Each structure stands twice: as C-alpha cells, then as structure tokens.
C-alpha cells in the first residue's frame, strides 16, 4: 500500500493499532496525539513520524498536517480517530466534560475533515475516515454525552460524503462496538458478548482504504442488528437491553479502575 496515512489519537488504542496494521501493509504513517510524550514513544516503537496535535485547535491541527506533509508527503488518507468517553448518569456530567467531549469528538472530527478536504479537493483525490461508534446509532443509559457526540459525527460524515462524492475524495465512517481500550476501563462487557480488540478495528480500516465505502460497522453482524433493532417497539428494545445488561453497564462501573483514564481526558494528556 503506497499511501501516506495520517492518524490522530494514535498514541494508543485503536489509532496505534491502525498505524501498526497500515505500516505492515507498506503505508507511510504519521501519527498524532495531544499526549506528546506518548505519541513520540509510540512513533519510535513503530518507526514512524509522531507529532503532537490538539484536534480542537485549528492552528495546532493545521501545523500538524503541514509537518506531516513535510515529513511524508501529501496525505492520501486522513483518519480522524481522536476521541474521549466520559460515562455515568447524565445529571452527573459536568458542563466542562460536556464541552470537552463535544469539542474533541465532534469539533475535532469536523475540523480535521475540513482541513483534509482543503488539501484533497484541489488535487481531486484522497480518503477521509472518521472513527465514530455504534454508540452513535445504539443508545445506552450512562452514555448520553458520548452517544450524542458520535451520532453527530455519523451525520456530519454522511452529509460531507454526499457533498464531495463526485469530486474524487472519499469520506467514510467507522462504527466500532465496545473495544478493549482505556475508554471502557472499569466497565463490563455485554452479557454473552466479546469486546472487539483494537486490531479488529484496524483490520476494518485497512479493508476500507482498499475498498472505500460510506460506512463500516465492526463487527459487521452488529450493523444488521442495529438496523433491525431500530424497528422494534420500545418495550422490546428495553427487554433486550436488560437481557444483555446494557441498561447498567455505564451506570454501574468501577470508578477506581477508571480514575486514571478520567484524569487523562480532563487534563488533555
């Protein structure tokens, strides 16, 4: 794969796994993250370029893309992966958490998409991949803020795709289910289900770059379940949620296990 790929939120988790998978396919990789020390360490371990970036800042994001292009060439693929996931009762979510979640998860994706389009549309080629979530179409108690941000990412991505689809640039959304990263620290898996691993999402992204499509759900079977679930009466959806424990997963969690992650997403490191 002789492509230049730029990935945000890639010091760990899905972003790092995606960088590793794409490098193994021969792509030239530049990773970015707000945690400068972590992204440099991750980049050194992979043998790629790692740069600090604050996806909520136009100045920082523009500088990141400029430096990425200087290091590796014009990006063929930009993957907007940076995101955070505060959890708990909606009445306990602080205004600061709400602003930060929307700023990173939504505005960061919108900004990254617009900046990438500014580089790709003039040359009539490129692929923008926005990492959303199944949480954007399947809603869960204790996850209202994250649900809202990811639903908006899905809507923004699709509207943008429709706007530029005849101009040579692909725009896609990836919707992972629960994935074993720091985002789900202190929570349990749905009953009888296995969380995805970051490598599962990375494999889907590799496939998506090879065969661009508007949207990919990981795992694929949950895409069908989500579409069917939306057609069910509310009482049936509630019964299903209780059966799998989805009504309590993000309300009854271990705050001690989650403490380090919560501190990191609030301090931006």
Which residues form the catalytic set? Answer: 146
**CA-based nearest residue to 134, from 217, 204, 238:** 217
Contact 15, 174 (CB under 8 A): no
How far is residue 105 from each of residues 9, 13, 141, 152, 198, measured CA to CA in Å? 11, 15, 19, 9, 18
How far is residue 145 from each of residues 102, 134, 135, 152, 241, measured CA to CA in Å? 8, 14, 10, 11, 19
Coil, strand or helix at 12: coil
The 8-class DSSP code of residue 27 comes to -
């Amino acid at each position: 794969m002789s492509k230049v790929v730029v990935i945000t939120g890639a010091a760990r988790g899905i972003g790092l796994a995606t960088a590793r998978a794409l490098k193994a396919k021969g792509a030239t990789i530049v990773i970015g993250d707000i945690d400068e020390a972590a992204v440099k360490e991750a980049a050194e371990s992979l043998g790629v370029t790692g740069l600090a970036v604050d996806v909520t800042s136009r100045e920082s994001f523009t500088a990141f893309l400029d430096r990425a292009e200087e290091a590796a060439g014009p990006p063929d693929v930009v993957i907007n992966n940076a995101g955070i996931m505060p959890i708990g009762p909606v009445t306990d979510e602080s205004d600061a958490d709400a602003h930060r979640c929307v700023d990173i998860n939504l505005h960061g994706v919108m900004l990254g998409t617009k900046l990438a389009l500014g580089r790709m549309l003039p040359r009539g080629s490129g692929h923008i991949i926005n990492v959303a979530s199944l949480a954007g179409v399947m809603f869960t108690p204790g996850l209202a803020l994250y649900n809202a941000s990811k639903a908006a990412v899905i809507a923004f991505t699709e509207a943008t795709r429709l706007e530029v689809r005849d101009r040579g640039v692909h725009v896609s959304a990836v919707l992972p289910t629960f994935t074993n990263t720091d985002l789900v620290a202190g929570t349990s898996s749905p009953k009888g289900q296995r969380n995805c691993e970051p490598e599962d999402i990375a494999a889907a992204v590799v496939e998506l770059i090879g065969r661009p499509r508007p949207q990919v759900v990981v795992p694929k079977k949950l895409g069908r379940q989500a579409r069917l679930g939306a057609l069910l009466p509310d009482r049936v959806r509630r019964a299903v949620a209780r059966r799998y424990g989805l009504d309590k997963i993000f309300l009854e969690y271990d705050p001690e296990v989650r403490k380090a992650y919560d501190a990191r997403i609030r301090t931006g490191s």
